[in-house]
Amino acid sequence: MSTHTICMSMAEAAAAVGIARSTLYLAIAEGRGPRTVKIGRRRVVTAADLQRWLGLGAAPSPAPLPPPPAHLAA
């Protein structure tokens, strides 16, 4: 995991941790995984949340933003 990486795909996050992608999805579904962010159709993990999840001391990400108003949602 590069120190310059901000977000990574689920596959990249799983590879960085050394687990299967399905294991990462299961951990997230059970509430035991890192927090994820939806960007368009993609779901990504921030490097900070992955480090926090691994216990490497990164500060947690702020609370997620509320959804956009209905008239702005596409």
pLDDT digits (tens, 9 = 90+) for 20-72: 999 999 998 888 889 999 989 999 999 889 988 888 654 555 566 666 677 76
Residue (of 56, 42, 57, 55) closest to 12 by Cα position: 42
- Residues 6 or more apart whose CB falls under 8 angstroms from that of 14 comprise 20, 21, 23, 24
CB 24 within 8 A of CB 12: no
pTM of the model: 0.66
**Tokens matching residue 5:** 């990486």
